[in-house]
Structure 1
Amino acid sequence: MAGLNSPTHDPSLAAARRGWLAARRRAATERSELAGQAAAEAAREAAPEPEFPSAGDLKAAAFFDLDNTVMQGAAIFHLCRGLYKRKFFRKRELARFAWQQAYFRMAGAEHSGHMRDARDSALSIVRGHRVSELMAIGEEIYDEYMAGRIWPGTRALAQAHLDAGQRVWLVTAAPVETATIIARRLGLTGALGTVAESVGGVYTGRLVGEPLHGPAKAVAVRALAEAEDLDLERCAAYSDSANDIPLLSLVGHPYAINPDKQLRAHAREMGWRLRDYRTGRKAARIGVPAAAGAGAVAGGAVAALAIQKRRR
């Protein structure tokens, strides 16, 4: 049995470890804050001035995760497929992306280690390329690999929010340039995404903060809501991943779409509504939450978009 003065029980070592862990947590929080603020700033700069119907609800908005919520699979993988086709990198690197995508599809959830690997691989590929070049190529890649992978059900939910006069934003760890293209093609307001550093319009191979993932998404949405004068209690958010629980917990109307096991359990515990497009089971209809007392949507539209809980 180890004595109290053994290295295992050395108080100074334990204190040093606690300090190291606390420093890591502070650094991670700072990176999340930086990533979220950068994403919100980039989203506001890229988004056009919204046009609202006369009955539009200016205080409400909807926030949609992208991978496996709006789109089947991971947007960054489809982006890399397109870049490989254009000889940005070699077969060995494509094989790594393919493995990461296979893991993502089999697990049905994100994993921080795989997200980090995908991020580092993508950054090494775009380093030295112009932002304008990647934007132009991204338009082509959307048509080639992404357009046919949009979940029609989630797309209809986003459109319902737009029809109700609400703004709709994508919130994703994918590059903000790719996310912005997808948002524009779907007719959405804009996108919050991972911001890669560029100098003089050329990518440096570094990120601003960290990927827009997990808590960073909540930071970005809160920053955007403050800048756009949104009432988060009147807003909705949709995601498939337990990693987005901080985002879903931020709004008054959270929804689990194609949820992973952990999110499904959490959503049921919290009474959140669910929808799953991946199975043959009959899914519940969920629609735009009617803002209490707002009169933002005509009475008939409110009835048509009534929320029904999923059968358990």
Structure 2
Amino acid sequence: MNLALFDLDNTLLDGDSDHAWGQFLCDQGVVDAGEYKARNDEFYAHYKAGTLDINAFLDFVLAPLATRSREELRELHDRFMNDVVFNMVNPLGQALVRWHVEQGDLCAIVTATNAFVTEPIVRYHFHVPHLIATVPAIENGRFTGKARGTPSFREGKIERVSAWLESMAMDFSSFEKTWFYSDSANDIPLLEKVNSPVAVDPCVALRLRAETVGWPIISLRDRDEDGAGSGIILQA
């Protein structure tokens, strides 16, 4: 059995669900659109530049969850799935995950985006039973607006994946082949941890790193007339 790990935003999805959720809250009037959009865009720019303060960002992005009941949030997320996420789902990303599942690999999606936003996406669109995401804290049945435990971000992804594997009496060395697919330079720590890193439609910094060290670079967005992705090589 091999291990296959996947980043979600801008890797399996054509877009960033975390940033899109913030824009959705603005569009729905849940937050003050002018102020919230500006800060949402600013945090996203820092993420792409590799300068994100993850704790400040989580305080910002999780705060609206504390202002609504779980039922209200479920209704909002249902609309988000229908109105926004549906158009972000990449069929080639789905095919990549499905290939690994059919190979019998242990699969997990590993994302910095919080589990409230991502769990329904992973469950409905990618059918992966294991999600490693930043965890929103809950007290008395309501979100607190804070994160719990280590955020699934940069080196935190290694810590979280290692803890997940340890819970099953395994570690990275338990597998002959360990894959990680990502678009972001923020994921270089986990890409360096596995023995089969793959850069997927990478940002400039990750493309440079991949070209320097010889990591495969593939695209799930450049589709030919048959819908196949350029550069995709699937082999056990």
TM-score class, shorter-chain normalisation, is 0.7 to 0.9
Q: Which residue of 2 aligns with 1:211?
A: 151
Distance 1:173 1:110, change over 3 A: farther
1:233–1:251 CA contact under 8 A, matched in 2: no
Distance 1:247 1:133, change over 3 A: farther
Q: 1:180 aligns with which of 119, 122, 125?
A: 119
2:154–2:190 CA contact under 8 A, matched in 1: yes
**Ranges in structure 2 where 5+ consecutive residues have no aligned partner:** none
Q: Which residue of 2 aligns with 1:160?
A: 99
1:247 matched to 2:165 = no
Q: Which moved more, 1:60-69 or 1:231-240?
A: 231-240
Q: Secondary structure of 1:112's match?
A: coil
Identity of aligned residues (%): 26
Q: Which moved more, 1:263-272 or 1:62-71?
A: 263-272
Q: Which residue of 1 aligns with 2:29?
A: 87
Matched letter for residue 285 of structure 1: I
Q: Which moved more, 1:192-201 or 1:77-86?
A: 77-86
Q: TM-score, normalised by structure 1?
A: 0.64
Deviation at 1:94, TM superposition (A): 4.2
Q: 1:129 aligns with which of 68, 72, 82?
A: 68
Bigger radius of gyration, 1 or 2?
Answer: 1
Deviation at 1:141, TM superposition (A): 0.8
Distance 1:133 1:168 in 2: 31
Deviations 1:241-262 (A, max 9, x none): 1211111122222111011222
2:110–2:132 CA contact under 8 A, matched in 1: yes
Distance 1:129 1:221, change over 3 A: same
Distance 2:186 2:176 in 1: 21
Deviation at 1:157, TM superposition (A): 0.8
1:110–1:241 CA contact under 8 A, matched in 2: no
Q: Secondary structure of 2:113's match?
A: strand
Deviation at 1:193, TM superposition (A): 0.9
2:150–2:160 CA contact under 8 A, matched in 1: no
Q: Which has the higher strand share?
A: 2
Matched letter for residue 200 of structure 1: N
1:77–1:97 CA contact under 8 A, matched in 2: no
Matched letter for residue 210 of structure 2: A
Deviations 1:61-104 (A, max 9, x none): 31111111111222112212333344321221343256348747
Distance 2:140 2:23 in 1: 27
Deviations 1:191-227 (A, max 9, x none): 1111111101111122124532100011111111222
Deviation at 1:136, TM superposition (A): 4.2
Count residues with an aligned counterpart. 228
Q: Secondary structure of 1:113's match?
A: coil
Q: Which residue of 1 aligns with 2:137?
A: 197
Distance 1:286 1:101 in 2: 34
Q: Secondary structure of 2:84's match?
A: helix
Distance 1:110 1:135 in 2: 32
Distance 1:141 1:87 in 2: 13
Q: Which residue of 2 aligns with 1:65?
A: 7
Distance 1:227 1:210, change over 3 A: closer
Q: Secondary structure of 2:193's match?
A: coil
Q: TM-score, normalised by structure 2?
A: 0.83
Deviation at 1:160, TM superposition (A): 0.4
**Ranges in structure 1 where 5+ consecutive residues have no aligned partner:** 1-56, 291-312
Q: Which residue of 2 aligns with 1:19?
A: none
Q: 1:120 aligns with which of 56, 59, 69?
A: 59
1:142 matched to 2:81 = yes
1:226 matched to 2:166 = yes
1:283 matched to 2:230 = yes
Deviation at 1:273, TM superposition (A): 1.1
